[in-house]
Amino acid sequence: MRVCVVLTARASYARGQTVLTALQADAGVDLQVVLAGPALLERYGDLRPVLAAEGIPVTAEVPLTLDGDSRHAMAAGTGLGVVALAQTFQALRPDTVVTIADRYETLATATAASYLGIRLVHLQGGEQTGSIDDKVRNAVTALADVHCVATAKAGERVRAMGARDVHVTGCPSIDLCRNLPPVPRDLPGTGAHVDPRQPFILVVLHPVVGEDDTAPGAVWEAVLGAGLPVLWFWPNVDPGSQGIAKALRTRRSARVRFVKNLPPRQFLALLQAAECLVGNSSVGIREASSLGTLALNLGTRQQGRQRGRNAVDVTMEDLTREMADWESIAPQRDAIYGDGHAGPRIAAIAAGRPVLAEVHG
């Protein structure tokens, strides 16, 4: 059976790595890995060297990210992606396509596979976050044939949309939290040297589509006011990322190091070691809840997503006050997003094999 997994960004690889590993080990599966969009761009975390290091061969590359920091680039990129991915699937002829989450490249993948009559497995449907992501995620749910959702509540939402083949598998990124490597001594990137074996703050700040007030300057002042070294990860490719990147390039501090990308397990080791995470990435809601890392979740980007007792929602105006009090917060671990065995479950489903026991998060 030919199973094609489409990876479009560093986050989709983190949420598909254990699925890939399980599929690669399945003698009955011919695994095809397609890299598309930001997954091919160095400034957003080129996945080719990461996959090479993991021993996972890339079957095809599909460039579809357009220059331009705008909604138009996303819309046009979606159309380009449908054309390019349709051609790729026509050549590879997979029996199943696996697509992840809610990016515009995911919508392009789902559209191309559906029109070609290819069985489509969607991961992480049924969640709520606001903005354009909800519309994209729900559209992919409508197109997909099989749904592997992270939580029971997400499964309820997907079934309410009329889906039938729904499996509560947990989130594969939680699998990676089970066996983390030691915190690395040295990190790639630019700026100050930060020793992650000593206390530090982690920042992951992405743009919010449709909002213009994701202000890295205000976050900068707040996190530096806490007095600890800072590891600041570069934003993703969404509209507004160039504005954030430009603002960061004008700032320097003896306590801040900028990092573009790390292999998923190395990043999660940093997340576990961090005193707290500041920003608006879903990693603060998913992986940080499993690791028990305090996440100061900023703004509306994760609005509506299920969260554990590690996450504290803050506004931009309240961030400075929260940073002053963060040491008084005692985060706790939660297993909302799975038990750490989602990858084998999803691989079995993608390969058409009997489903392993589901989770109840």
Owning domain of residue 90 = 2-171+338-350
Rounded mean pLDDT, 47-68: 90
Choice between 182 and 70, residue whose per-residue pLDDT is larger:
182
Band the pLDDT of 260: cuts 50, 70, 90: confident
Cite the beta strand spans of 169-216 per DSSP E: 190-191, 201-204
Rounded mean pLDDT, 27-42: 93
Band the pLDDT of 361: cuts 50, 70, 90: low
Question: Tell me, what's the pLDDT at 211?
Answer: 67
In whole angstroms, give the CA distance from residue 69 to residue 2. Answer: 36
Structural domain includes residue 359: no
Domain count, the chain: 2
Separation in Å, CA 296 to CA 2, 266, 302: 42, 21, 11
Question: Tell me, what's the pLDDT at 122?
Answer: 98
Question: Tell me, what's the pLDDT at 182?
Answer: 94
In whole angstroms, give the CA distance from residue 140 to residue 218. Answer: 35
Question: Tell me, what's the pLDDT at 274?
Answer: 97
Rounded mean pLDDT, 105-132: 94
- Per-residue pLDDT at 34 exceeds 90: yes
Phi/psi-derived region of residue 121, left when phi > 0, alpha when psi is between -120 and 50, beta in every other case: beta
For residue 18, the number of C-alpha atoms closer than 13 Å in the C-beta half-sphere is 22
Question: Tell me, what's the pLDDT at 311?
Answer: 94
Question: Tell me, what's the pLDDT at 359?
Answer: 66
Token pair of 303 as six digits? 């609005």
- Per-residue pLDDT at 355 exceeds 90: no
Task: Kindly tell me the sign of the dihedral angle through the C-alpha atoms of 268, 269, 272, 274.
Answer: negative
204 plus 134 within the same structural domain: no
Structural domain includes residue 360: no
Structural domain includes residue 233: yes
56 plus 81 within the same structural domain: yes
Segment 278-296, tens digit of pLDDT: 999 999 999 999 999 999 9
- Per-residue pLDDT at 224 exceeds 60: yes
311 plus 345 within the same structural domain: no
Average per-residue pLDDT for the chain? 91
Structural domain includes residue 197: yes
Structural domain includes residue 215: yes
163 plus 90 within the same structural domain: yes
In whole angstroms, give the CA distance from residue 123 to residue 145. Answer: 11
* b/e code 32-49 from CB counts within 10 Å (16+ = b): bbbbbbbbbeeebbbbee
CATH number, domain at 97? 3.40.50.2000
- Per-residue pLDDT at 213 exceeds 60: no
Segment 178-201, tens digit of pLDDT: 889 999 888 999 999 999 999 999
232 plus 269 within the same structural domain: yes
Question: Tell me, what's the pLDDT at 118?
Answer: 98
Band the pLDDT of 218: cuts 50, 70, 90: confident
Band the pLDDT of 212: cuts 50, 70, 90: low
135 plus 53 within the same structural domain: yes
Question: Tell me, what's the pLDDT at 356?
Answer: 61
Choice between 357 and 74, residue whose per-residue pLDDT is larger:
74
220 plus 343 within the same structural domain: no
Structural domain includes residue 248: yes
Structural domain includes residue 361: no
235 plus 300 within the same structural domain: yes
pTM for the whole structure: 0.90
187 plus 321 within the same structural domain: yes
- 201 and 278 Cβ atoms separated by less than 8 Å: yes
Question: Amino acid letter at 261?
Answer: N
Segment 125-152, tens digit of pLDDT: 999 887 788 999 999 999 999 999 999 9
185 plus 80 within the same structural domain: no
Q: Which residue has the tokens 């590359």?
A: 61
Choice between 348 and 263, residue whose per-residue pLDDT is larger:
348
Segment 264-281, tens digit of pLDDT: 999 999 999 999 999 999
Choice between 144 and 302, residue whose per-residue pLDDT is larger:
144
10 plus 158 within the same structural domain: yes
In whole angstroms, give the CA distance from residue 33 to residue 262. Answer: 20
Residue 204: partners with Cβ closer than 8 Å, 6 or more residues away: 233, 277, 278, 279, 280, 281, 283, 284
Structural domain includes residue 355: no
Do β-strands 190-191 and 256-259 pair in parallel, antiparallel, or remain unpaired? antiparallel
150 plus 245 within the same structural domain: no
- Per-residue pLDDT at 110 exceeds 90: yes
- Per-residue pLDDT at 304 exceeds 80: yes
DSSP letter for each residue of 117-155: T-EEEEESTT----HHHHHHHHHHHHH-SEEEESSHHHH
